[in-house]
Amino acid sequence: MEPSSPASAGPLTGPLAAARRVVVKVGSSSLTSEQGGISERALGDIVDALAALRLRGAEVVFVSSGAIAAGLAPLGFARRPSDLASQQAAATVGQGLLMHRYAERFARHGLVVGQVLLTSEDLVRRSHHINASRALERLLGLGAVPVINENDAVATQEIRVGDNDRLAALVAHLVKADALLLLSDVDAVLTRHPDDGGVRIPVVARESDLDAVEASRPGTGIGTGGMATKIRAASLAADSGITALVTSARRLSDVVRGEDVGTLFPARGPRQPARRLWLAHLADARGSMRVDDGAARALRTRRGSLLAAGIISVEGDFTAGDAVEILDREGALVARGMSAYDAADVPRMMGRSTADMAAELGEGYDRPVVHADAMAVVA
């Protein structure tokens, strides 16, 4: 059956009224059939709604799960495997199949798609970040719809973003989006499971608006997210100046028409660099460094770099480039940042000036342990 013509009359309304660039994320559970493969009907409905959004004047960046799910049946898997190598194998098969379907369906609306595969390093390391930003800006400038997924085929556990809700929040910052739509198989953030009488929370203007939310039941087992990850991603976007909406994929057409659906997280903070967002809220710390009172005070007030002279202890097994927590003498979190050194190198540097380290330990030890540009102060 041919898709209906995208709505083209009138400007965007509702939560998208002021949005000229929108990041839309859809989860695996919204794309799969009861048999576990990709549902052509669900995929088609999502693409048709995105095409309507694009043809109404908004630039669209599409963050899509489903690559692993699409690759399960061709490789003979009855369910999603638990080991990373098998997931990577399924992703290598599924990515091509999924993109082929997207390319065909978007083409019916005269739209071209371009695949972009990312890992967390592409979003936080400056050279990778710049390249990813440049590629996405060029795709959008050429009128294409970027289709983004985490690079499951090569990402190790250490460099995975972890779920596509996190990825979508980071991408929204990367492309300076005006709005973020997080789509799943649940119509909104509910006070509890719908089978238990849960009701919709229409707007989350502040954290206290979520006090009524009870723990949700486990998901389907197909995806890796859940309502908790969507709430975190939407809150992070809102706190950083991006309006976010959590709803179901089947309500996407209603969103495009401006109807009151889902749970809205209005923008309520200034924009932040993507690297600081990741460090402050999303990074999995591989270790910690405890600092003296002077260093803690300097980090909190002057937002400077962490020098070895202020470190009093180190814990964990991290390597250069890993995220670490910086704690004060009492163990309270001061900041998160990317260490410039391996954990094994830090003990012999503690309490020493940068000049002393460079003179005694040689070239390469004349830089901060955590540079201010790779740090997010959180307390």
Q: List the structure tokens of 275.
A: 């690297």
151 annotated as ligand-binding: no
32 annotated as ligand-binding: no
184 annotated as ligand-binding: yes
Q: DSSP secondary-structure letter at 281?
A: I
366 annotated as ligand-binding: no
DSSP 141-172: HTT-EEEEEE-TTT--TTT---SHHHHHHHHH
The CA-to-CA distance between both ends of the chain, in Å, stands at 56
228 annotated as ligand-binding: yes
Half-sphere exposure of 44 (CA within 13 A, CB side): 10
C-alpha of 47 from chain center: 21
243 annotated as ligand-binding: no
209 annotated as ligand-binding: no
Q: DSSP secondary-structure letter at 76?
A: T
350 annotated as ligand-binding: no
Instruction: Write down the H helix ranges in the chain.
Output: 40-55, 67-72, 84-107, 120-124, 126-141, 164-174, 227-239, 252-256, 274-277, 293-302, 354-361
Unique residue bearing structure tokens 């889902």: 262
1 annotated as ligand-binding: no
226 annotated as ligand-binding: yes
227 annotated as ligand-binding: yes
176 annotated as ligand-binding: no
- Diameter over CA atoms, the chain: 74
301 annotated as ligand-binding: no
Residues tagged in the binding site annotation: 25, 65, 152, 164, 184-185, 224-230
Residues tagged in the binding site annotation for substrate: 65, 152, 164
Residues tagged in the binding site annotation for ATP: 25, 184-185, 224-230
